[in-house]
């Protein structure tokens, strides 16, 4: 079966946003974000919120253009929001209203007829696990329940794309698991997700793609699986003598491989220069030195490693 | 192990997610929805009984003069003495029974705008197809609509009651035909003014109590200042009477009913008083709208 390629959810070209005070939040950002679940990663002040504001048409970029769900935001900055859901990081719910009223209200504000909004509110509150609490005032909810109510209001109008800003912020481990499980299911419903966070574990858990920005510039973007495979580092655990690690590193250097001791038992070896041959060279070198080979594996970097590596360049 | 027959084994149904394929509105529908929600909030609908007591009590209070007027009219209808045309309160005066409406605005205008800011609901609202102007239209429209309703319904009671207790219903309608446009216009002028001033002042603060006090304070202070100025003028009219911003819609009301400023007004006798009153009314109205548009021009996420 041939899958039809999904159009990009977000396309930006040379997107720059400078504020009147002189600060530049985005500096020539060019990125294509595919449909699906995407992590938007960056430190505080990296430009994540500014990018959300531009996507929602809440302000005009200083230069460049931005397209969301295949539509130019500048052409219809208000109408674009009818197919977007947004979940802010901070508390944003009217505390004296019931969850049902809050969610149906935001359904109506997204353009749904009243009856449809109430029905959809019931459905999405069921989906996020608040079906039994939906007639209780939000003011009495726990942090986890409020987060789920916020997610429900973002989903009520069946958006093409939801923008989630730190959805696991302030949640305990159980609440975090539940929220990530919910977010992970959205792509299966045909709803694309852009998850802005600084918790890279969350992105690694639920996203297929990642976009890393720093100081308003694109640092890295791509499928997470691919990015994790391109570490180019092999880790070898050896034993057999007290100076096994040092001897191996020295011998590998003589055979053209860059190696360094990671700790008292492990050597990290750059494999990019020699490719697949590196494994044979390491195996033969260990045998020639009479060392014990405990493990040999390609080292998978975490997103944290990638982010640190790319932002320190 | 007991094996249940297939029909009794039960099943877990994953209701899953159902996409929405029905109609979707845009800005207009979102604005109407926000207006409707604000009206509902101000009237205490879908809220606790405590939130309902005030607005509905107010409607009852504003209707009392009409009921009293009609009741007296009915009681003296067959009086042998000539008392036809008795009026406990005139339509013109009834539009001026505005203190209760002002108190209503002071309590409800902050209630429909302050929580949006203090509870940071604004970013969510503006993530929907709404602009700052739509927000202002919906909020001012909601308060103006209720004030209009609470100002107009008692007039309807008065008009229908007077008509029924009069000797000839048709004659009463014919004799009072002009109030059929004067009253709604004058009440609309009052309602729009109170709504804009009330919501604009409330928009300047996050706290409801501060908003309410600001509305009452500004109107009371300007009334007091205007009264002092009028006293200093020695009973003659003074153009500074327009400092009383509470009186401006009532001055416009005078123009609607009489074509000139009422002789009992502090502005009476001032050359060009009518134009001055309309100008001051518009200045306050437009200033309030400017404040509102500025306050909701841009919202931080």
Domain segments of chain A as ranges: 10-228, 230-301
Q: Which residues of B touch A84 (CB under 8 A)?
A: 127
Q: Are B19 and A112 within 8 A, CB to CB?
A: no
Gap from B292 CA to chain A (nearest CA, Å):
18
Q: Which residues of A touch B120 (CB under 8 A)?
A: 88, 90-92
Q: Are B301 and A52 within 8 A, CB to CB?
A: yes
Region A111-116: what's the mean pLDDT? 95
Q: Are B298 and A59 within 8 A, CB to CB?
A: yes
pLDDT 10s digits, B49-88? 888 888 888 878 888 887 887 788 777 776 655 555 566 6
Q: Which residues of B touch A91 (CB under 8 A)?
A: 119-120
List the CATH code of the domain at A230-301: 3.30.70.100
Q: Are strands A84-87 and A71-72 parallel, antiparallel or unpaired?
A: unpaired
Lowest-pLDDT range, A108-122, A231-245, B75-89, B169-183? B75-89
Q: What is the ipTM of this complex?
A: 0.82
Query: What is the pLDDT, as a whole number, of residue A92?
Result: 92
Q: Residue A79: which of B19, B120, B129 has the nearest Cβ?
A: B129
Task: Give the nearest chain A residue to B112 (CA atoms).
Answer: A94
What secondary structure letter does DSSP report for A98? B
* CA–CA separation, A7 and B120 (whole Å): 34
Query: What is the pLDDT, as a whole number, of residue B12?
Result: 46
The residue count of chain A comes to: 313
pLDDT 10s digits, A198-210? 888 899 889 999 9
Of B112, B162, B133, whose CA–CA distance to B296 is shortest?
A: B133
* CA–CA separation, B202 and B48 (whole Å): 23
Q: Are A126 and B15 within 8 A, CB to CB?
A: yes
Q: Residue B126: which of A58, A79, A82 has the nearest Cβ?
A: A58
Q: Which residues of B touch A105 (CB under 8 A)?
A: 33, 37
Cβ atoms of A224 and A204 closer than 8 Å? yes
Query: What is the pLDDT, as a whole number, of residue B113?
Result: 96
Q: Residue B20: which of A78, A153, A157 has the nearest Cβ?
A: A157
Q: Are B20 and A93 within 8 A, CB to CB?
A: no
pLDDT 10s digits, A61-110? 999 999 999 999 999 999 899 899 999 999 999 998 999 999 999 999 99
CATH of A10-228, one of 3.40.50.620, 3.40.50.10190, 3.40.50.300, 3.40.50.970: 3.40.50.300
pLDDT 10s digits, A251-292? 988 888 888 888 888 888 887 777 778 888 999 999 999 999
- Tokens standing for residue A300: 């998978």
Lowest-pLDDT range, A32-46, A254-268, B6-20? B6-20
Query: What is the pLDDT, as a whole number, of residue B295?
Result: 94
CA distances (Å), origin B290, targets A105, A146, B203: 28, 35, 12
Q: Are A158 and B125 within 8 A, CB to CB?
A: no
- Tokens standing for residue B206: 């996050």
Strand order in the sheet with A10-18: A24-33, A10-18, A63-68, A71-72
User: Does position B10 have pLDDT exceeding 80, yes or no?
Assistant: no
User: What are the strands, taking DSSP E only, across chain A?
Assistant: 10-18, 24-33, 37-41, 63-68, 71-72, 84-87, 161-165, 192-197, 209-214, 217-223, 233-239, 259-261, 266-270, 292-298
Coil/strand/helix, residue A21:
coil
Helices (H) and strands (E) counted in chain A, each on its own, are 10, 14
Q: Which residues of B touch A79 (CB under 8 A)?
A: 26-27, 129
Q: Which residues of A touch B (CB under 8 A)?
A: 49, 52-53, 56, 58-59, 78-79, 81-82, 84-86, 88, 90-96, 101, 105-106, 108-114, 116, 120, 123, 126-127, 153, 157-158, 165, 185, 189-190
Coil/strand/helix, residue A137:
strand
Planar angle of CA B208, A145, B296, nearest 5 degrees:
35
User: Does position B260 have pLDDT exceeding 50, yes or no?
Assistant: yes
Q: Are B115 and A190 within 8 A, CB to CB?
A: no
pLDDT 10s digits, A117-170? 999 999 999 999 998 999 999 999 999 999 999 999 999 999 999 999 999 988
Please report, rounded to a whole number, the percentage of residues in chain B having pLDDT higher than 70: 89
Q: Which residues of A touch B129 (CB under 8 A)?
A: 78-79, 81-82, 109-111
């Amino acid at each position: 079966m041939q899958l039809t390629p999904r159009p990009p959810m977000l396309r930006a070209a040379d997107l720059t946003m400078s504020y009147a005070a002189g600060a530049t939040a985005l500096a020539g950002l060019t990125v294509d974000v595919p449909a699906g679940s995407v992590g938007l990663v960056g430190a505080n002040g990296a430009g994540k919120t500014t990018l959300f504001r531009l996507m929602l048409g809440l302000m005009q970029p200083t230069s460049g253009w931005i397209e969301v769900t295949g539509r130019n935001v500048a052409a219809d900055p208000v109408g674009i929001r009818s197919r977007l859901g947004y979940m802010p990081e901070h508390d944003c719910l009217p505390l004296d209203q019931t969850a049902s009223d809050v969610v149906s209200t935001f359904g109506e504000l997204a353009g749904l007829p009243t009856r449809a909004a109430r029905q959809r509110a019931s459905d999405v509150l069921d989906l996020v696990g608040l079906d039994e609490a939906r007639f209780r005032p939000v003011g009495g909810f726990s942090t986890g329940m409020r987060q789920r109510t916020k997610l429900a209001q973002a989903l009520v109008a069946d958006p093409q794309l939801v923008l989630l800003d730190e959805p696991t912020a302030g949640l305990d481990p159980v609440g975090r698991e539940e929220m990530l499980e919910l977010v992970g299911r959205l792509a299966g419903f045909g709803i694309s997700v852009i998850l802005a966070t600084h918790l890279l574990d969350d992105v690694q858990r639920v996203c297929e793609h990642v976009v890393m920005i720093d100081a308003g510039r694109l640092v890295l973007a791509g499928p997470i699986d691919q990015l994790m495979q391109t570490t180019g580092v092999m880790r070898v655990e050896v034993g057999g003598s007290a100076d096994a690690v040092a001897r191996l590193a020295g011998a590998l250097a003589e055979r053209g491989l860059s190696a360094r001791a990671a700790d008292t038992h492990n050597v990290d070896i750059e494999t990019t220069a020699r490719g697949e041959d590196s494994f044979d060279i390491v195996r033969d070198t260990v045998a020639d030195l009479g060392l014990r080979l405990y493990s040999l594996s390609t080292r998978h970097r975490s997103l944290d490693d990638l982010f640190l590596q790319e932002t320190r360049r | 192990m007991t094996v249940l027959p297939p029909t009794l084994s039960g099943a877990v149904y994953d209701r899953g997610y159902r996409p929405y394929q029905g109609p979707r509105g845009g800005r207009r529908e979102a604005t109407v929805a926000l207006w409707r929600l604000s009206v509902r909030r101000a009237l205490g609908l879908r809220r606790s009984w405590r939130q309902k007591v005030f607005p509905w009590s107010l409607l009852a209070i504003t209707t009392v003069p009409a009921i009293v007027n009609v009741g007296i009219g009915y009681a003296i209808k067959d009086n042998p003495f000539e008392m036809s045309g008795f009026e406990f309160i005139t339509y013109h005066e009834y539009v001026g029974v505005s203190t209760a409406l002002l108190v209503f605005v002071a309590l409800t205008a902050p209630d429909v705008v302050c929580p949006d800011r203090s509870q940071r609901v604004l970013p969510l609202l503006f993530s929907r197809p709404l602009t700052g102007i739509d927000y202002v239209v919906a909020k001012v429209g909601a308060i103006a609509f209720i004030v209009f309703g609470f100002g107009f319904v008692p007039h309807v009671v008065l008009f229908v009651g007077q008509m029924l207790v009069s000797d000839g219903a048709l004659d009463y309608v014919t004799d009072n035909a002009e109030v059929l446009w004067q009253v709604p216009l004058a009440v609309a002028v009052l309602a729009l003014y109170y709504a804009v001033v009330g919501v604009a002042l409330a928009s300047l603060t996050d706290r409801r109590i501060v908003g309410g006090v600001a509305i009452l304070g500004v109107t009371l202070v300007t009334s007091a200042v205007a009264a002092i100025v009028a006293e200093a003028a020695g009973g003659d009219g003074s153009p500074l009477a327009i400092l009383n911003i509470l009186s401006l819609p009532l001055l416009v009301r005078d123009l609607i009913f009489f074509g000139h400023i009422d002789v009992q007004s502090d502005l009476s006798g001032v050359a060009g008083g009518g134009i001055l009153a309309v100008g001051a009314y518009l200045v306050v109205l437009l200033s309030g709208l400017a404040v509102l548009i500025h306050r909701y021009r841009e919202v931080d996420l």
